[in-house]
Amino acid sequence: MINKTVSNADEAVKDITSNTVLMLGGFGLCGIPENCIKALLKKPLTGLTCISNNAGVDDFGIGLMLKQRMVKKMISSYVGENAEFERQLLSGELEVELIPQGTLAERTRAGGAGIPAFFTPAGVGTEVAEGKEMREFDGKLYILERWLKADFSLVKAWKGDTAGNLIFKGTARNFNPMMAAAGTVTIAEVEELVPAGELDPNQIHTPGIYVQRIFQGTAYEKRIEKRTVKS
């Protein structure tokens, strides 16, 4: 099997340039490609289009990329915990496309599956439907939505092997597998990297054919996006 390992995050993202379209996996602050984001912060990047379920928080995840003015456009679903995102949006510095969460997931899955468009009822009668083709099926209106694809997909898995096969854990399985399939180049960082053949084939969530580079990450933080406790 082809060995797809690279030494670290810096090597993995070395050819990502300005004005690139990126997908970043994860759900909230769970399962996000922390090491890849830190490596991107070292580069003088601008004009990025980032496709992600959320935009991180002010001091973590994509929020750090927003602070460095690396992101031109965000395509996402939930952005409620990021004050810098809000400031850039209201000031007109950041272009934003907000998408219903299920539609974002399906547009990404369609990109990985080679399906250019599909119809969905989500968003009918709202701003989401403006300018989009609508059709009626069995007496119900549906919106035409196009696939999403990226130049690079950055994903984070619990375990992977040198051939790029990936296993995700818990909520980190949200968005990571479909984004891994929708990138021209997919870069995977994993908590544990094992030799090819050690993973149970029945447990693999993303086959290695979708992954071009893989490395073992370090120093993962266990962040909680919003903590609510009794006074």
**Domains of the chain, residue spans:** 17-98+149-216
Q: 19 Cβ partners below 8 Å, 6+ apart?
A: 46, 47, 48, 72
| Per-residue pLDDT reduced to its tens digit, 30-64 | 999 999 999 999 999 999 999 999 998 988 999 99
Q: What percent of the chain has pLDDT over 90?
A: 88
From CA 12, how far away is CA 10, in angstroms rounded?
Answer: 5
From CA 161, how far away is CA 201, in angstroms rounded?
Answer: 11
Give, rounded to a whole angstrom, the gap between the first and last alpha carbons of the chain: 56
Superfamily of domain 17-98+149-216: Glutaconate Coenzyme A-transferase (3.40.1080.10)
pLDDT at 167 over 80: yes
The reported pTM is 0.94
| Local confidence band at 85 (pLDDT 50, 70, 90 cut-offs) | very high
From CA 38, how far away is CA 18, in angstroms rounded?
Answer: 16
5-14, 179-188, 214-223 — which is least confidently predicted? Answer: 214-223
Query: Rounded mean pLDDT of 124-140?
Result: 96
From CA 49, how far away is CA 177, in angstroms rounded?
Answer: 20
188 phi-psi bin (left φ>0, alpha ψ -120 to 50, beta other): beta
From CA 170, how far away is CA 181, in angstroms rounded?
Answer: 19
